[in-house]
């Protein structure tokens, strides 16, 4: 007697064991060591009456997942194909595709647009003939690149679903939809849609989470992070609170410099000892982060930077501790410390440092000290020390650093922002100052506060508030998959496409606040990053702790910088330079000086081409963490060494197991885990990369529970000496850290 099973459409049919065997055989096909019979036997499917076919599929998928091991990591591709089969079934059912995935793409766009799930821009821009031509360009077989964790992540978080949560979109349709949207303003939009689709669908370039998620959707907010500046006034503070709330509402992570705000006990309108300092304002921003969550998914993400010379630095460093007055805590903020060179020298020399109130500097000396960096900052710092009217607090510099180390070891925070290195390496120093960084510490661009210039009311009671927009930095990110793209010819080909694709993000973006649009169009800044760094080293047989590693990374990132700049210059010749190109280090050629330029690339020729043809993008290179998008590509995250060869995560719907890329007998011992690597080699590699990056990199440090304070200090000191512009988390094995999803 045959066992009845319930199909996805609700119909009841006799079980077809042969069909189950066929699906398993299909999934195991071409994967050596993955025996379909073994998977059948291990699945132990209990065939009971009226079991759902979907439940059978889930059992088989989970069995394949749990078979992933260092000895046979290929099972994650088998699990990925089984999961894909499940996706195909669901989408075909929900769209009435009659078991034929990747058909009727135009009808899907029509239906999704009508339901408000797809932006009208695509149907308004492309004719039916053009869409069907692009649909025929889709390569369904590229779905077989997905590992289990990659296709599950894409399905759970990025593919389009209806209001009831029913999956409607297939992976390659998503990639083509993104490509079509990003190419919609190009003159030869079909050519560039194909080009964008190819680099994304081949996992050569993966856009950052907001672009991957929102390009093609009605609310196309494509940027990962925003970075602002808060001035020392109620108008500025509460204007930023509103700005942060709007940015957070639409899913953007936010960073801000608060170093201008007067210290606790400062004067207000001549009344002494009445100012509450930065902490009360930090708490308001903390509560805003909790109240205005990101699209109802998670609380807002905000990193605040305070310069180390600020009188409130001790309270700021204690924001996330559990001891002391809870009214002076802000547990949902990500603190960052702005560190000038003179502080690091004082730490090295075990000498004293001085804290003061920036408001009194403005009052008595007439300048804002955070407007300066390098030698000019130190000259003005000396003026502050000489001014008898400005009270100073003398403290041992190492005492502050000990608090930073203690907090870093216990919580992973604060981030460190080396402000002098950031500004020395700023190619647009002629137009502004870098005051802080974003949530993931890789974005370094000019920042300034928005100024409320006045208001008026007309006879009908309409109030108009006038604002002078400052520079509100916008992060437009995507990452190269280095295992796929590292040879010179591939870098040249792919970066040409990637630069154009990111540049189009600027023009197609939805901006929650107008200052962001103003700054984004002014500098046309992009952030080209990299993922699969450790994966590439392992595939090349290069040990992390070796001089060979440093030599290789130096040549690799030189080529990345060369072809990124070259692509942006050629794009400028076609579409025009960013508005502040004149006077920049790009235009003057100073960006190309002070580096040991390789002989293989024509740097002098490039310098001359940039001078004559211009540059499309004022900022180009920034390496983000890539946590989520690297899962999709089956890559190691960002520039980090691996955490584990096999990662096992317990989820409510089962276990997720993922292996590092190309794990086999030849790479097993090359893949050394992050916490086992001497972190000075992590820092050395970052220093080599940094000289080729006009912005920065999300540099994590990995420590164990028995790490000594002197070692932690050496990592930070060496990062500063090596010219790194920032340090992200210090990741102790005992500490859970929560990252900005947008940048990943």
* Enclosing domain of residue 536: 473-698
Task: For residue range 97-150, list pLDDT tens digits in order.
Answer: 988 999 999 999 999 999 999 999 999 999 999 999 999 999 999 999 999 999
Task: For residue range 297-340, list pLDDT tens digits in order.
Answer: 567 899 999 999 999 999 999 998 878 888 888 999 999 999 99
Mean pLDDT (whole number) for 233-259: 93
CA distance 655 to 651: 6
pLDDT at 623: 98
597 lies in a domain?
A: yes
pLDDT at 14: 84
Place 508 in a pLDDT band, splitting at 50, 70 and 90: very high
Task: For residue range 178-216, list pLDDT tens digits in order.
Answer: 999 999 999 999 999 999 999 999 999 999 999 999 999
486 lies in a domain?
A: yes
Task: For residue range 452-481, list pLDDT tens digits in order.
Answer: 999 999 999 999 999 999 999 999 999 999
654 lies in a domain?
A: yes
488 lies in a domain?
A: yes
Task: For residue range 87-110, list pLDDT tens digits in order.
Answer: 999 999 999 998 899 999 999 999
pLDDT at 19: 87
672 lies in a domain?
A: yes
Exposure string over 51-81, b if 16+ CB within 10 A, otherwise e: bebeebbbbbbbbbbebbeeebbbbbbbbbb
Task: For residue range 674-704, list pLDDT tens digits in order.
Answer: 999 999 999 999 999 999 999 999 999 999 9
Cβ neighbors of 177 (< 8 A, separation 6 or more) are 109, 118, 122, 169, 215, 216
In the predicted structure, residue 47 carries a pLDDT above the cut 80 = no
In the predicted structure, residue 364 carries a pLDDT above the cut 80 = yes
CA distance 589 to 591: 6
Residue 135, Cβ neighbours under 10 Å: how many? 18
In the predicted structure, residue 743 carries a pLDDT above the cut 90 = no
CA distance 683 to 689: 10
Q: Contact, 144 vs 74, CB < 8 A?
A: no
500 lies in a domain?
A: yes
529 lies in a domain?
A: yes
CA distance 128 to 647: 45
What integer best gives the mean pLDDT of the chain? 93
Mean pLDDT (whole number) for 389-402: 98
228 phi/psi in degrees, rounded to 5:
-125, 180
CATH code assigned at 600: 3.20.70.20
Structural domain count of the chain? 1
Task: For residue range 517-561, list pLDDT tens digits in order.
Answer: 999 999 999 999 999 999 999 999 999 999 999 999 999 999 999
241 lies in a domain?
A: no
Active site residues per annotation: 438, 440, 442
In the predicted structure, residue 71 carries a pLDDT above the cut 70 = yes
Pick the more confident residue, 536 or 57: 536
pLDDT at 54: 86
Place 600 in a pLDDT band, splitting at 50, 70 and 90: low
Task: For residue range 396-408, list pLDDT tens digits in order.
Answer: 999 999 999 999 9
């Amino acid at each position: 007697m045959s066992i009845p099973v319930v199909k996805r459409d609700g119909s009841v049919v006799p079980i077809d064991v042969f069909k189950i065997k066929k699906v398993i055989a299909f999934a195991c096909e071409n994967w050596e060591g993955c025996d379909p019979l073994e998977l059948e036997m291990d699945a132990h499917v209990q065939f009971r009456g009226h079991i759902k076919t979907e439940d059978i599929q889930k059992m088989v998928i989970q069995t394949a997942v749990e078979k992933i091991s260092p000895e046979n990591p290929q099972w994650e591709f088998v699990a990925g194909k089984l999961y894909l089969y499940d996706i195909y079934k669901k989408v075909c059912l929900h769209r009435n595709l009659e078991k034929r995935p990747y058909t009727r793409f135009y009808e899907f766009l029509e239906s999704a647009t009508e339901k408000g799930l797809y932006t009208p821009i695509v149907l308004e821009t492309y004719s039916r003939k053009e869409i069907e031509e692009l649909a025929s360009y889709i390569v369904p077989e590229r779905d077989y690149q997905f590992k289990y964790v990659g296709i599950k992540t894409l399905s759970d978080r990025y593919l389009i679903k209806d209001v009831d949560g029913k999956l409607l979109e297939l992976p390659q349709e998503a990639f083509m939809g993104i490509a079509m949207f990003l190419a919609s303003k190009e003159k030869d939009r079909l050519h560039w849609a194909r080009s964008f689709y190819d680099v994304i669908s081949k996992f050569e370039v993966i856009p950052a989470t907001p672009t991957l998620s929102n390009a093609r959707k009605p609310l196309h907010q494509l940027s990962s992070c925003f970075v602002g500046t808060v001035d020392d006034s109620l108008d500025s503070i509460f204007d930023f609170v509103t700005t942060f709330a709007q940015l957070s509402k639409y899913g953007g992570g936010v960073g801000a410099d608060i170093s201008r705000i007067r210290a606790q006990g400062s004067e207000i309108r001549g009344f002494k000892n009445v100012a509450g300092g930065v902490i009360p304002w930090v708490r308001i921003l903390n509560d805003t982060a909790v109240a205005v969550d990101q699209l109802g998914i998670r609380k807002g993400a905000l990193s605040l930077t305070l310069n180390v010379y600020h009188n409130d630095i001790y309270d700021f460093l204690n924001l996330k501790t559990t001891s002391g007055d809870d009214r002076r805590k802000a547990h949902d903020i990500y603190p960052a410390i702005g560190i000038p060179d003179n502080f690091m020298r004082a730490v090295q020399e075990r000498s004293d440092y001085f804290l003061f109130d920036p408001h009194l500097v403005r009052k008595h000396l007439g300048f804002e000290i955070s407007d300066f960096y390098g030698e000019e900052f130190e000259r003005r710092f000396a003026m502050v020390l000489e001014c008898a009217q400005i009270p100073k607090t003398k403290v041992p510099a190492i005492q502050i650093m000990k608090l930073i180390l203690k907090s870093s070891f216990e919580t992973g925070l604060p981030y460190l922002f080396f402000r002098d290195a950031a500004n020395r390496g700023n190619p647009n120093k002629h137009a502004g100052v870098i005051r802080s960084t974003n949530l993931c510490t890789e974005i370094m661009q000019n920042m300034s506060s928005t100024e409320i210039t006045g208001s008026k009311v007309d006879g009908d009671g309409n109030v108009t508030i006038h604002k002078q927009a400052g520079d509100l930095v916008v992060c437009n990110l995507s990452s190269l998959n280095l295992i796929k793209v590292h040879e010179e010819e591939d870098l040249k080909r792919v970066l040409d496409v990637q630069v154009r694709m990111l540049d189009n993000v600027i023009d197609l973006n939805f901006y929650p606040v107008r200052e962001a649009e103003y700054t984004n169009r002014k500098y046309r800044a992009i952030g080209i990053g990299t993922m699969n760094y450790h994966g590439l080293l392992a595939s090349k047989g290069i040990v992390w702790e070796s001089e060979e590693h440093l030599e290789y990374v130096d040549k690799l990132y030189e080529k990345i910088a060369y072809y990124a700049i070259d692509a942006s210059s050629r794009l400028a010749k076609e579409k025009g330079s960013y508005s502040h190109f004149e006077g920049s280090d790009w235009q003057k050629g100073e960006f190309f000086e002070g580096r040991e330029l390789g002989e293989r690339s024509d740097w002098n020729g490039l310098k001359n081409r940039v001078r004559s043809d211009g540059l499309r993008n004022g900022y180009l290179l920034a390496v983000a963490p890539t946590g989520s998008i690297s899962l999709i590509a089956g890559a190691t995250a960002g520039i980090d060494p691996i955490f584990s060869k096999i990662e096992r995560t317990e989820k409510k719907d089962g276990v997720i197991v993922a292996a590092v890329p190309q794990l086999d007998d030849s790479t097993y011992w090359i893949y050394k885990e992050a916490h086992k690597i001497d972190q000075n080699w992590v820092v050395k590699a970052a220093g080599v990369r940094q000289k080729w990056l006009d912005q920065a990199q999300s540099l994590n440090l990995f420590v164990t529970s028995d790490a000594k304070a002197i070692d932690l200090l050496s990592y930070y000191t060496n990062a500063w000496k090596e010219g790194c512009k920032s340090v992200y988390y210090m990741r102790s094995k005992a500490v859970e850290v929560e990252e900005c999803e947008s940048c990943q």
